[in-house]
Amino acid sequence: MNPSAPVSVPLLFFFDLGNDGVGHATALQVPAALINDILISHRNERKVWQAVVPVSATAPSVQPVHHRSRSIEAASIAGLIFGGLLIAAILLFGRQPGADATRDEVNAWLSDPGADTSAITALYLASFAVIAFLWFMAVIRRRIGDREDRFFATVFLGSGILAGAAILVGSSVLAAAAHVARSYGADAIDFGDYVTLQSIGWGVLGVHSARVAAVFILNHEPEENLMMKIAREMNLSETVFVIRGSELVIRWFTPNAEVNLCGHATLAAAHILWQQDQFTGEEIVFQSKSGPLAVSKAEEGYTLDFPLQLATEKREHEALVTDLLGHTPDYIGSNGEDCIAVVADDATVHAFTPDFNKISALPERGFLLTAQDSSGQYDYIYRGFFPKLDIPEDPVTGSANTCLAPYWAGRLNKTKLRARQVSERGGNLIVEVSGDRVLITGQAVTVFEGQMAIKPERETPSCNG
């Protein structure tokens, strides 16, 4: 028998996912003597069989099987579908009166026959958005899984499933009030129940719109140099230290400087103290460089009681800010900490591309860009940039509202406002101007906890766990 001639053997069937993301299935009739070598080669080097196997003239012609749903292009399409559907759903949900609406506004909306249609449509859109999101996550997981650790890829997909579940639950809660009112009449929904549903729904939807802070609870105050080193090691926008004693002292550090006030890190510190049962009262008072700061429990999460910081107009900043924005804003001010620019169109805030060199030229620590929200879902939106603190753009800056809230309260003639920081991650806040204080309400969740081992002789600390 000629070993180089084709023999009657079962067809070898190979399936391989190529670098182009397309699956290829091929059936080949080959010399028997090469079968073992082919299998060994295929185990050692993917796709080598395509080059070394001589196809017989009598081999059947098999077309590749394309799996375009697993390609990077498919992931891009899925991501675009997800974003479009979710934005449409949020805009529809945003037509509902918010948690701070009046009783008359809620009753009028519940009595509208179109309210149920709008809410249910938004729920359907959110559901299909989750399907597109999971498709996107699955493709990314597969691509990562081919090259990286499978455990990491699985955790990556798991976080996506949790995010999708949050979207579905939040959307269902927001649609519930309108659906019940349509089915059983507007009187079936109590005003208090409606407000609660709105708070829960938006809270769940926004659970992944978060700002991360590292919280250290200590019995003794470390040297400032050590706290600075720890903040650099954590490499988060804020690391907060709470020192227990006769009073609770709080200090905040960015990766390169100590700051006088930070909203989200204060909220995170209070959350940890209550969660760990290290404080049992309904209000925590921290002593800080900005004076006493109170944090209390609220239906929507936690409420920060911060000092109001009025901005004063700064005409001397006009040339630099105009150059930064490309046009002259409606107002330029400063509270001593941050420069504030108010523009007429909220699209300008969304589309703004920061020049960090120009922002760093401002005498203040950061730059806040704000506008009235045109969608009606919020009273104002804003973005915050702090390149001097090694924070190019801050996801959510609670302390910024100590000056933004009084400005918008005066302009809109209302004391309780809804704010949205429109960074890539984003976050929602409820703010209220009360005398010389600003009340800022937000939520917090614990992501992970552990212990940090500090090396002796003031070396850079390392973290385990």
Q: What is the pLDDT of residues 117-161, one digit of tens each?
A: 788 888 888 888 888 887 777 776 665 555 545 555 555 566 677
Predicted local distance difference test score (pLDDT) of residue 70 = 61
Q: Which of 238, 337, 393, 432 is catalytic?
A: 238
Minimum mean pLDDT among 172-186, 223-237, 429-443: which range?
Answer: 172-186
Amino acid in position 183 = S
Q: Is 238 a catalytic residue?
A: yes
Higher pLDDT, 267 or 89: 267
User: Which residues on neighbouring strands pair with residue 339, listed in sequence order?
Assistant: 334, 367
Assess contact for 416 and 380: CB atoms under 8 A: no
Cα dihedral 315, 321, 327, 331, rounded to 10, equals: -50
Label the pairing between strands 380-386 and 416-421. parallel
Token digits of residue 163 = 């995010």
Predicted local distance difference test score (pLDDT) of residue 143 = 59
- The 10 Å Cβ neighbour count of residue 159 is 12
Mean pLDDT of 351-367: 94
Angle at 353 between CA 351 and CA 357, to 5 degrees: 160
Amino acid in position 113 = P
Average pLDDT, the chain: 77
% of the chain with per-residue pLDDT over 70: 72
Max mean pLDDT among 60-69, 111-120, 191-200, 368-377 falls in 368-377
* pTM listed for this prediction: 0.56
User: Which residues on neighbouring strands pair with residue 323, listed in sequence order?
Assistant: none
Assess contact for 213 and 264: CB atoms under 8 A: yes
Mean pLDDT of 195-200: 73
Label the pairing between strands 331-334 and 312-313. antiparallel
Predicted local distance difference test score (pLDDT) of residue 151 = 52
